[in-house]
Amino acid sequence: MAKIRLGLEEWRRLERELERISGGQDLELLINLSLGHPHHGGHEHHHDEPERTPFVEETLGLIKRIEDRYGVRVHQHLHGDHGSILVPVRGSPHDLVSALRDVVRTTLDTCSECSLHGVDGEVHLGDKLSGIYFGDAYKLTFILPGSDGRTLEVIELHL
């Protein structure tokens, strides 16, 4: 029970830090997901349209669900057995934290032909970069400006 409470507290801490950084303005969170077929080791590289493999079909379905849920255009770079999608989400810190958790959870819960290899992205305030993050299906690490303006704040979150 203590681990669950600690995990939730870290997500709340991220939301508080994003509130501080935003100064009450909306932020933009870029969510980049690196995906691959769970059973293929090799990489097929096609520079035209990707072959309509089960991986590609399932990833396109995931993209449609995300676009419908958040009203955004998801950018994709897909090959037959791997690829990446970029989800731009704009809103309040609370909305962004919820969206990040939901996009990752949706990916993990709905993909049998695609597996999540990595998550990374950026936090923007207007056109300025305000933070970065990276991780995988288990843990994310956010690097944000500290409140003193001279140091960095590192927040580790378990998914």
Q: Is the pLDDT of residue 38 over 60?
A: yes
Helices (H), 23-139: 54-70, 93-110
pLDDT in the model for residue 5: 53
Whether 44 has a pLDDT exceeding 60, the answer reads no
Residue 36's H or E segment, with its range, is strand 27-36
What's the distance, Cα to Cα, between the start and end of the chain in Å?
15
**What's 102's domain CATH number?**
3.30.70.1120
Predicted confidence (pLDDT) at residue 47 exceeds the cutoff of 70 = no
pLDDT in tens, 5-34: 557 899 999 999 999 999 999 999 999 999
The number of folded domains in the chain is 1
pLDDT at res. 110: 87
Domain span at 99: 2-158
Q: Are 153 and 141 in contact (CB under 8 A)?
A: no
* Over residues 130-157, mean pLDDT: 96
Quote the pTM value: 0.89
